[in-house]
Amino acid sequence: MVSGCVLEPSLLSLVKQVPGGKVTTYGALARALGDPIAARWVGKVLSENYRSDVPCHRVIMSDLSLGGYNKGVDEKVKKLKEEGIDVAAGRVNEKIFEDFVTSYPLRRYAETQLKLAQKVVLEGDLKVGRVAGIDVSYREGGKGVCSIFDLSDGSLIEELTIVKRPKFPYIPTYLSFREGGFIIELVKMMSKEERKDCILLIDGNGYMHPRKCGLASHVGVVLDMPTIGVAKSRLCGKSGEKGEIYINQELVGFAIGGNRYVSPGHRVSAYGSRRFVRRLLEAGIDPLRRAHRTSRP
């Protein structure tokens, strides 16, 4: 219950649909939520669930092995056998129940991303005077930090902080629904004048996203500000010979320095975003590292 409040009721009600004497898989539940990529989150939630009205013991792995259970796997096997399910050598011999009644809630979020993606502008002159790095860290809730630097002299102008509980779980490709609210609130704490002339560096992807709408693009469009995504690992795409990242032959971003992935968020091009981040680092300005450090305890 600590993580995703938003999708959790949907997930638990899906688990309740699995009849006694039948089993389903984490992946099948994720598909019923609207996206198989949520399978890992499904497993995490169910392994932590203690509600006796939710039959988590009927959820197993796609290879028919047992998976986890909060009271131990032995208890899971016992409950399954009591329901007449054939369990032998740590495997369940039963057809997978997948006949869920569902509204596929995750699809609505994906559709939101597709709509926002149509508003993304992949060009801009980046005539800005300030740069803000924004990062969110978690420990008993989330802490978002926005570190604003003056580009004329590289000095730290201001640092803003916000602490709140994220309402959306972490599911790959849906990060913007977890962290977008932190970023938007932080930017709204900036003065109008400060905001006007500022580009945002976001810890995550922009255009380098399966639906062309990662966190940086999402908040860029919502705030109508130039944004660049800088991620520490690759979510999707294929690497070219000079660090380019492609999705279906389309350039979506770059790997830089071997351990950073840069992609345009909004109102900047792919090459423009790489140039901007490179020049910042050459000038010794690292807003994201600063935001990351102050967000950590």
Using CB under 7 A, pick the residue from 97, 100, 104, 170 that binds DNA.
170
Using CB under 7 A, pick the residue from 49, 205, 227, 273 that binds DNA.
205
Q: How far is the CB of 132 from DNA (least distance, A)?
A: 16
Q: Are 194 and 148 in contact (CB under 8 A)?
A: yes
- Interacting span for DNA (CB under 7 A) from 8-16, 189-197, 214-222, 240-248: 214-222
| Interaction of residue 164 with DNA, rule CB under 7 A | no
Using CB under 7 A, pick the residue from 235, 245, 255, 291 that binds DNA.
235
Q: Which is nearer to DNA, 71 or 81 (CB)?
A: 71
| Interaction of residue 220 with DNA, rule CB under 7 A | no
Using CB under 7 A, pick the residue from 57, 79, 209, 290 that binds DNA.
209
- Interacting span for DNA (CB under 7 A) from 137-145, 188-196, 245-253, 268-276: 137-145
Q: How far is the CB of 208 from DNA (least distance, A)?
A: 8
| Interaction of residue 35 with DNA, rule CB under 7 A | no
SS (H, E, C) 32-66: HHCCHHHHHHHHHHHHHCCCCCCCHHHEECCCCEC
Q: Catalytic residue numbers?
A: 56
Q: Any residues with CB less than 8 A from the CB of 84 and at least 6 apart, and which?
A: 21
Using CB under 7 A, pick the residue from 42, 80, 120, 262 that binds DNA.
42
| Interaction of residue 182 with DNA, rule CB under 7 A | no
| Interaction of residue 27 with DNA, rule CB under 7 A | yes
Q: Are 166 and 137 in contact (CB under 8 A)?
A: no
Q: Which is nearer to DNA, 211 or 267 (CB)?
A: 211
- Interacting span for DNA (CB under 7 A) from 122-130, 156-164, 169-177, 269-277: 169-177
| Interaction of residue 231 with DNA, rule CB under 7 A | yes
Using CB under 7 A, pick the residue from 57, 135, 190, 286 that binds DNA.
135
Using CB under 7 A, pick the residue from 191, 233, 248, 249 that binds DNA.
233
The residues binding DNA (CB under 7 A) are: 25-28, 30, 36, 39-40, 42-44, 47-48, 61-63, 67-68, 135-139, 170, 172-176, 203-205, 209, 214-216, 229, 231-236, 296
